[in-house]
Amino acid sequence: MSIGLIGRKVGVTQVFQGDGTMVAVSVLAIEPNTVIRLRTEERDGYTAVQLGADSAAKLNKPRTGQQKDLPKGSGLSKTLREFRVDSVDGYEIGQKLAIGDLFADGDLVDVTGVSKGKGFAGAMKRHNFKGQGASHGNHKKHRAPGSIGACATPARVFKGMKMAGQHGNVRTTTLNLEVIESDPERNLLLVRGSVPGPAGGLVFVRDGVKAGAK
C-alpha cells in the first residue's frame, strides 16, 4: 500500500472545466504532514509510516511520548495516523509531506472519514427498504421491516439482521475519486464528487487501491 495524508473537509463547491462542463467537487484542506514514527517489520511486526497533523502547543504524556524522537523545534501534532507501506526507505522522522509530493491533477484517490450521524432511524431510511403495501388489510405497518426470522427453528434472530438502529456516524471510505485540482500553494485538494463527513471533519486521503480495477 502507499502512503496518504491527513486533512479536513472544507465543503462542497463547483468548478468549470476547459470545455465548459461544470463539476461538483469536495474541497479538502491538507496542511503538510509530519513523519512521527517509522514502523519496521523487525521491530514492530509490520511496516508503516505514522504521520501527524493539526499542530498543538501541549498534549498529554502518552501522545507527547509518541513524538519524543522528533527533531527539536518540529512542534507537536494532535492528530496521528498510520499508513501501511511496502518499505520505509526514503522517509525520516521529522520529514514534511505535502500535497504536491503525493497527488497531481487526474489522480484517483480514496478518501476515508466518519459519516454524518443521523441518529436512530427505521429500516426504510437506514437500509433503503421498500416498505409494505398500502392496501389489502395493512394496518399501520406500512414502514415496518416485516418478518425478521423463523419460528421454532432456529428460534432466534441472527446477528447482522437489517433492522432499525443508529444511522450514520461510521467510518466510511469513498473509492476512486478523481483529483480535479491539486493546489500545493494553498494546501487544497479538489476531488470530484462527495466525501464522507461534515464540513470540518477529519479525512484521510491515499492513492486509490482499486484505481486499476475498472
- The per-residue pLDDT for range 52-64, each reduced to its tens digit, is 999 988 899 998 8
pLDDT in tens, 115-170: 999 999 999 999 999 999 888 888 888 999 988 887 888 888 999 999 999 999 99
Q: Please return the burial class of 49, using the count of CB atoms within 10 Å of its CB with bins 0-12, 13-18 and 19+.
A: buried
Tell me the three cell numbers of residue 202. 477529519
Assess whether 34 and 92 both reside in one domain: yes
Q: Considering only CA atoms, which of 88, 65, 67, 85 is closest in space to residue 76?
A: 67
Question: Are residues 94 and 29 located together in one domain of the fold?
Answer: yes
User: For the chain, what is the domain count?
Assistant: 2
- Same domain? For 113 and 123 the reply is no
Which residues, 6 or more positions from 42, have their beta carbon under 8 angstroms from its beta carbon?
none
> Could you check whether the bond before residue 154 is cis, i.e. omega within 30 degrees of 0?
yes
> Are 88 and 138 in the same domain?
no
Kindly give the pairing relationship between strand 96-97 and strand 33-39.
antiparallel
Query: Looking at the domain assignment, is residue 212 inside a domain?
Result: no
Same domain, residue pair 27 and 106:
yes
Q: Which domain, by its residues, includes 76?
A: 4-117+171-207
Residue 1, pLDDT score = 66
**C-alpha cell read off for 204:** 484521510
Residue 162 lies in a domain: yes
With vertex at residue 202, the alpha carbon angle to CA 198 and CA 3, rounded to the nearest 5 degrees, is 135
105 has a pLDDT exceeding 90: yes
- Residues 96-103, mean pLDDT to the nearest whole number: 93
Residues 16 and 31 in one domain: yes
pLDDT at residue 208 tops 70:
yes
Q: What is the CA radius of gyration of the chain?
A: 23
Contact 94, 32 (CB under 8 A): no
Does 102 share its domain with 123? no
Same domain as 159, residue 186? no
- How high does pLDDT run on average in the chain? 92
Predicted structure pTM score: 0.85
